[in-house]
């Protein structure tokens, strides 16, 4: 992290097919070794699977899943006088959605299954129904923040 200048906020373009910002973020999270076309195929086939299962708009299911997995608070380590405290800090909206998408991609990769698009579709559907691993991770984060609420005055 540079001490001289504040980093510029990069503008992320929406994806070409759905013209949606969240789909573009998921494509970037699925991306490996610079193969963006393969990541786009995975995400688009995931959205097709969701469309076939629910016969509704897959973008609404995706946005609901991201909303359900987005944390409100997180903990950051803060060093005060030789000891480290876990300080609960509120999460900005952009970081919250980024964390939610990161958790959805991580837990879908960790699942055993056929192909990535099926695993990602299952994780998105479970998260939209408030039962996925990413929702559990969000609840864990909230519990940790609640347990360390006493150190909130070390917030910076």
Give the CATH number, domain containing residue 94.
1.10.455.10
Pair of tokens at residue 30: 């699925």
CA–centroid distance for 84 within its chain: 27
> Residue 51 falls within a domain, yes or no?
yes
Contact 87, 150 (CB under 8 A): no
> Residue 28 falls within a domain, yes or no?
yes
> Residue 4 falls within a domain, yes or no?
no
> Domain total for the chain?
1
Name, in order, each residue with C-beta under 8 angstroms of 13's C-beta and a sequence gap of 6 or more.
24
Whole-number pLDDT of residue 156: 64
> Residue 16 falls within a domain, yes or no?
no
Query: pLDDT tens-digit profile of 68-119?
Result: 999 999 998 888 888 888 888 899 999 999 999 999 999 999 998 889 999 9
- Strand 83-90 vs strand 73-80: parallel, antiparallel, or unpaired? antiparallel
* pLDDT (mean) for 50-77: 92
Give the H/E segment covering residue 90: strand 83-90
What domain range includes position 88? 21-154
Whole-number pLDDT of residue 1: 59
Could you tell me the pTM of the whole model? Answer: 0.89
Residue 79 phi/psi, 5° resolution?
Answer: -95, 120
Residue the block writes with tokens 């980024």: 98
Query: pLDDT tens-digit profile of 27-51?
Result: 999 999 999 999 999 999 999 999 9
């Amino acid at each position: 992290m540079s001490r001289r200048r504040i980093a510029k906020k990069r503008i992320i373009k929406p994806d070409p097919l759905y013209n949606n910002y969240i789909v573009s973020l998921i494509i970037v999270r699925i991306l490996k070794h610079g193969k963006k076309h393969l990541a786009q195929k995975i995400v688009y086939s995931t959205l097709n699977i969701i469309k076939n299962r629910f016969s509704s708009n897959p973008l609404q299911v995706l946005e609901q899943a991201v909303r359900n997995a987005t944390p409100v608070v997180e903990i950051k380590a803060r060093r005060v006088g030789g000891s480290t405290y876990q300080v609960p800090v509120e999460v900005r909206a952009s970081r919250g959605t980024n964390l939610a998408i990161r958790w959805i991609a991580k837990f879908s990769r960790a699942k055993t299954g056929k192909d990535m698009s099926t695993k990602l579709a299952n994780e998105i559907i479970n998260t939209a129904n408030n039962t996925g691993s990413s929702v559990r991770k969000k609840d864990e984060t909230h519990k940790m923040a609640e347990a360390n609420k006493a150190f909130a005055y070390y917030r910076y």
